[in-house]
Amino acid sequence: MNRRNMLNCGICTLVTLAIVSGYAALHQRPSTITRENCRLIQSGMTVAEVEAILGGPARDEVAGRLTMMMYRPLLVVSGDGRSHAEWVGTYFAIIVVFKDGRVFATSQACVTTVRPYLVDMALYWLGM
């Protein structure tokens, strides 16, 4: 393969990568884990009602990214009938405490995604 063909191949690859990453960035569904939806959660609601507001069961939408937030398990059950579930979105986290299957309390926190240096990212990917 001569130089011109290699250059054309490289350019085509870069253009394809740019189109695919642009499409992925523009077509992400907006998160339902927001401050506004947290305000809709009322004491006494069932787990199903909370999941309907927050777009599904407890989840972590930023898993795999480095964030400035201490994580707890997504669902914890204690001996007195209480449990809590955590919904973590791109910018916001909602913790809901349930007692006997109904909302007992809610808590919220901001999530900040860390943009590490290239070397830090490489070390993170390598598991170091």
Evaluate whether 60 touches 33 at the Cβ level (below 8 Å). Answer: no
Evaluate whether 60 touches 74 at the Cβ level (below 8 Å). Answer: yes
Least confident of 4-8, 50-54, 58-62, 96-100: 4-8
CATH of domain 31-125: 3.30.1450.10
Q: Is the pLDDT of residue 64 over 80?
A: no
Percentage of residues of the chain with pLDDT beyond 70: 66
Mean pLDDT calculated for residue range 32-54: 92
- Distance, in Å, from the CA atom of 47 to the CA atom of 73, rounded to the nearest integer, reads 17
**Binning pLDDT at 50, 70 and 90, where does residue 65 land?**
low
Task: Provide Rg for the chain, Cα atoms.
Answer: 21
- Distance, in Å, from the CA atom of 27 to the CA atom of 7, rounded to the nearest integer, reads 30
pLDDT at 57: 92
**Binning pLDDT at 50, 70 and 90, where does residue 75 land?**
low
- Distance, in Å, from the CA atom of 68 to the CA atom of 23, rounded to the nearest integer, reads 27
Residue 117: φ, ψ to 5°: -65, 160
